[in-house]
Amino acid sequence: MGALATFTAVVPLEWGDVNIIHTTDTHGWLLGHQKTSFPEPNYSGDLGDFASFVSHMKQIALEKDVDLLLIDSGDLHDGKQGMPNVRLLWTGTGLSDGFPPGGVDGHETNKFLAMLPYDVMAIVRNNHEMSPFANTLDMHVNFAPKLNGRYLTSNVNITVPDAHGNAVSVPVGSRFAKFKTKKGREVTALGVLFSFTGFAQNTTVQPVADLVKESWFKEVIQEEPDFFLLVGHMPVQRDDWPLVFNAAVRAVHPTTPILILGGHTHIRDCVQLDGRSMSLESGRYMETVQNLIGREAQNITFSRRYLDPNRVTYEFHAQQRNATFDTLQGKSITNGLLQLAQNFDLNFLFGTAPQDFTLSRDPFPSNGSLLTLFSTEAMPFSLTINNTRANIPKIMITNSGSQRFDILKGPFTKNDQFTASPFSDAFVFIPSVPSAIANKVLPALNDAGADERKRSLFEKRERLAYERGYVDFVYRRWLEEMDRRHGLERRAVNNLTLGYVTTDACPGIGDDSIHAPLPFFPSPDFIGSNPPNVTDDTPIDLVFVDFIEDQLIEILNSVQSDKVFSSVDVQSYTDVLGNQVLGLFAQHAWN
């Protein structure tokens, strides 16, 4: 496991009449962050530690005679799809997505998540719980029933055979849930997914604007509960929550408390749509556990706390010592996950990384940039192993979104390879491209043209990307703004470790522990190897990942007029896939 986390909070958690522990976008990071480079130790708690924490907090809630709910709003695991010219952000781990051939994303890790006493969970979209179809079917058949009607998919359906073999479209989980808390409070819960367009065949997502017009929806919200619980994989700002909040619930119940728990953009965020509601988003990758506190009074009040998930944090707030913290269930979950990692051979050691290589904390190009390492060292080595074209001059190009997480100093394992570079993309090439022409392709890929056209294309790309579920640009802007606001000042304070410094739209300071923000440097959409030292007219191999084939051919045709290139000119370059490049390089360079 990683180094001990630092812990600077000195204020115990507040308790209200209704309290919620919230997780979202865990993406398979159930063994915690195990590296010693900060901020990883701050997120080093595993799912077993979290289970023990929840158990102790449930006991404290009983002693205080208050309600405590456990909620998750989606992205339990990951898949292996992408979109041209968009850097993807969410990343699974080998635990949830590195299974041997024939498995289903998240099937094994879901068994451990089901052991926790979640009161409500919501579905996600795309290449996670909803794509490929096998993932959705697994959630429908094997996972949803374990939540006893609390796995909510208000606007998400799956098409399956009925008892007579006829194809029918049914909710993946349940459309809604009405239940009582331990203190007898009536709750109406809905699970809403944003109007996603990239769902798999035989699954459907109803637009939110249509959902709120459904007769069943209007009937469900007609009866007033003690509070509405709206859970969904949708960011709490800049999306469709106001449609559900204003046009639907508030139109019928002007003063009923409403709690919204969202996700998807991987940031810590909070907003209040009115004085009797609170909307929260709780980060990513088990780097944040959210605590929401609601107090019933003449004027209802809310507060929130963003916790760094590590044992030091958990023990402090659960009022436990290291010797008393672990529960039997928590230890069982930890041991089970460790065994699963062993079953999947995730601890296989490729080599030992001599330093940190990061995606955005180091400038590109630089010696600390993972994108520089991948493009100028790892690709040129790994793609030419046992390759008959190894001695032919070449340029190698890939999209920067192929790299998904930092490589940190220390052991570089099969699991690290998966989290850093999970895509099994193939590498192809076009032979005999004049060096002067080939050298123009990478700059042209990263340049959309004149400023006005560039802005227009950028906005269109972001809109289309968002509709298909890709939100890296939101998270990166959040990191950039965090660094701009607080970076130099906070990093000058010696006793602060790197981490999140949250500025949201809710009153007060939300972060439980005080950190200095991570440095942030922008990077291009496409990266490439160093050009060969040859004359302009020398024919070279133009090597690229097949994921960007259409876009690259279009660019190649735009930078020259001697020949019209097409997919007919594209050939296979190597049997080495994108998710093998770093492992092969590490075996060579880091042993």
Q: What is the pLDDT of residues 123-177, one digit of tens each?
A: 864 434 444 678 888 888 999 999 999 999 998 888 999 889 899 999 899 999 9
> How many domains does the chain contain in total?
2
Q: Residue 555 sits in a domain of what CATH number?
A: 3.90.780.10
Neighbours of 460 (CB within 10 A): 10
Residue 491 within a domain: no
- DSSP code, position 242: H
CATH of the domain at 207: 3.60.21.10
- Rounded to whole angstroms, how far apart are CA atoms 554 and 508? 51
More confident residue, 465 or 102: 102
pLDDT band, very low/low/confident/very high, at 323 (cuts 50, 70, 90): very high
Place of tokens 């913290």: 325
Instruction: Identify whether residues 122 and 153 lie together within a single domain.
Output: yes
pLDDT of 15: 97
- Do the domain assignments include residue 453? no
pLDDT in tens, 264-285: 889 999 999 999 999 999 999 9
Q: Is the pLDDT of residue 457 over 70?
A: no
The confidence score (pLDDT) of residue 511 equals 96
Q: What would the mean pLDDT of 399-428 be, rounded to a whole number?
A: 94
- What letter would DSSP give residue 578? G
Mean pLDDT throughout 517-538?
96
User: In whole angstroms, how far apart are CA 545 and each of 401, 528, 573, 586?
Assistant: 12, 11, 10, 20
pLDDT > 70: percent of the chain? 89
pLDDT at 359 over 70: yes
What are the two backbone dihedrals, phi and then psi, of residue 446, each rounded to the nearest 5 degrees?
Answer: -90, 0
| Half-sphere exposure for 35 (CA within 13 Å, toward CB) | 22
Same domain membership, residue 109 and residue 78 = yes
**Could you tell me what percent of the chain has a pLDDT over 90?**
73
Is residue 476 in some structural domain?
no
335 plus 439 within the same structural domain: no
Are residues 237 and 102 part of one domain?
yes
| pLDDT reading at 459 higher than 70 | no
Last residue of a domain, one of 342, 359, 376: 342
Greater confidence (423 vs 374) lies with 374
Is 504 within the bounds of a domain?
A: no
Per the domain annotation, does 175 fall within a domain? yes
pLDDT band at 450 (very low <50, low <70, confident <90, very high): very low
DSSP 389-436: TTTS-EEEEEEGGG--S-B-SEEEEHHHHHHH------EEEEEEEEHH
Looking at the fold, whether 338 and 262 belong to one and the same domain comes out as yes
498 falls within a domain: no
Average pLDDT, the chain: 90
Last residue of a domain, one of 342, 372, 393: 342
Q: Let me know if residue 5 belongs to a domain.
A: no
Phi and psi at residue 59, in whole multiples of 5°?
A: -70, -40
Residue 202 gets the label, from left (phi > 0), alpha (psi -120 to 50) or beta, of left
Q: What is the pLDDT of residue 493?
A: 86
Q: Give the H or E element holding residue 152.
A: strand 151-152
Q: Which pLDDT value is given to residue 86?
A: 40
pLDDT-derived band of residue 367, with 50, 70 and 90 as boundaries?
Answer: very high
Q: What is the pLDDT of residue 297?
A: 76
pLDDT digits (tens, 9 = 90+) for 175-219: 999 999 999 999 999 998 776 555 567 888 888 999 999 999 999
Is residue 254 classed exposed, middle or buried when 0-12, 13-18 and 19+ CB atoms within 10 A define those classes? Answer: exposed
pLDDT tens-digit series, residues 49-98:
999 999 999 999 999 999 999 999 988 866 444 444 443 434 678 998 88
pLDDT at residue 295 greater than cutoff 70 = yes
* Owning domain of residue 235: 18-342
pLDDT per position as a tens digit, 531-568: 999 999 999 999 999 999 999 999 999 999 999 999 99
For residue 357, the 8-state DSSP code is B
Query: Are 133 and 63 in the same domain?
Result: yes
Q: Looking at 495-562, list the stretches that DSSP marks H as alpha helix, in order from N- to C-terminal side.
A: 549-558
Mean per-residue pLDDT, 16-28? 95
User: What pLDDT does residue 205 have?
Assistant: 86
Same domain, 388 and 296: no
User: How does residue 1 score in pLDDT terms, banded at 50, 70 and 90?
Assistant: very low
322, 361: one domain: no
Residue 7 banded pLDDT, cuts 50, 70, 90: low
> H or E segment at 564?
none
**Does one domain contain both 307 and 436?**
no
Q: Does residue 351 lie within any of the structural domains? A: yes
Burial class (CB in 10 A: 0-12, 13-18, 19+), 471: buried
Q: Please report which confidence band the pLDDT of residue 447 belongs to, taking 50, 70 and 90 as the band edges.
A: confident
Q: Tell me the average pLDDT across 511-521.
A: 96
Same-domain status, 83 and 144: yes
Pairing of strands 526-528, 394-399: antiparallel
Q: What is the pTM of this model?
A: 0.92
Do both 317 and 436 map to the same domain?
no
Domain boundary among 277, 312, 342: 342
Q: Are 333 and 318 within one domain? A: yes
